[in-house]
Amino acid sequence: MKKFMNTADTMVTESVEGFVRAHAEFVVFGAERKCIRRRHLTPGKVAVISGGGAGHEPMHIGFVGRGMLDAACVGHIFTSPTPSQIIGAIEEADTGAGCLLVVKNYDGDVMNFEMAAEMVAARHRIEMVIVSDDIETARVGDGRGRRGVAGTLVVERILGAAAEQGMSLDRLKSLGEGLSPKIRSMGVALTGVTVPHTQRTTFSLSATEMEMGVGIHGEPGHSRKPFSAADTIVRYLCEAIAGDIASQPNAKALLFVNGLGGTPPAELYVAYDAARRFIENGGIQIERSLVGTYVTSLDMQGLSVTLALLSDEELALWDSPVATAALRWGC
């Protein structure tokens, strides 16, 4: 296994250090380096906080800044941040209006964020929004519920924009819960993930196979299928998403094609072209688009398609100014 690292044990620490140094205009370390927060916090604004294991960069630390997150915590690779880290982020970011925690629907993340919220409940007003956009776990039916995957970016962006405009904590909680049935994602992989500590891939595929329904922690999907042309692969993803998402009369859509870490931009745009053709042929109007590598699974060669059916208000929040290391427009 070849990776640009010194040791597996120091990789996350050194990577986060490099990130903060590279993007000092947006972010600083919190106390004891438990979190990364916005360089300039806004007094009296609800703090929007998220986090998760390393290996998903630029999510979440790349989304810290104006119009998105106020703080984010980074755990070990594919491991939830600790309650202590999350408490550190709350203490750093709460400027008086309370905190909204945006949490991906994984057992470790939910447990640790809930524990942190309970531990500071006497000092801080906390609400939580659980992101569960992945259709795959619902299809498997094993009781885990939907995972939070690339749709987390959409939730963090819209809630961060609303908080920037002064929305109250209660209204942010309601807005986040309303987004849940309107965002769906599904991923596909051509390779597994190479985990630094184990120096092994999470699953192996032959040159003629692909894995459908993968997660962002290197989890295999629901089925292994013969490798196909891009149109065939993307049609499969889009059919599954279109059949699962809550219908919205006169809804306008955001289409997000996300690279999982090892897929070049040219291939992502091929996938976007196919996805847009399929979705528009199904009668859904694409109003906004995002294509790029934002929610990764280390070096997985794969991609995901996310469809979000948004109201005019939500589209306006998406369009409002954002200034982070990974997303920047309108500033």
Residue 1 lies in a domain: no
Which of the four pLDDT bands, split at 50, 70 and 90, describes residue 203? confident
Judgement on whether residues 58 and 172 belong to the same structural domain of the protein? yes
Any domain includes 3: no
For the segment 285-289, the average pLDDT, to the nearest whole number, is 96
Is 129 in the same domain as 95? yes
pLDDT at 251: 74
Mark whether 290 and 259 lie in a shared domain: yes
Same domain flag for 138 and 35: yes
Domain that includes residue 38, residue range: 11-181+319-326
Give the pTM.
0.96
**Per-residue pLDDT reduced to its tens digit, 10-35:** 999 999 999 999 999 999 999 999 99
Measured CA to CA, the distance from residue 151 to residue 95 in angstroms comes to 27
Same domain, 32 and 102: yes
CATH code of the domain covering residue 304: 3.30.1180.20
Write out the two tokens for 106.
């994984």
192 shares a domain with 159: no
In a domain, 115, yes or no: yes
The enclosing domain of 115 has a CATH number of 3.40.50.10440
Number of Cβ within a 10 Å radius of residue 122: 6
Number of domains in the chain: 2
Residues with a catalytic annotation lie at: 56, 217
Q: Is 31 a domain residue?
A: yes
The mean pLDDT value of the chain amounts to 94
According to the model, what pLDDT value does residue 200 have? 75
Does some domain include residue 207?
Answer: yes
The model's pLDDT over 111-133, given as tens digits with 9 standing for 90+, comes to 999 999 999 999 999 999 999 99
Domain co-membership, 28 together with 177? yes
- 4 within a domain of the structure (yes/no): no
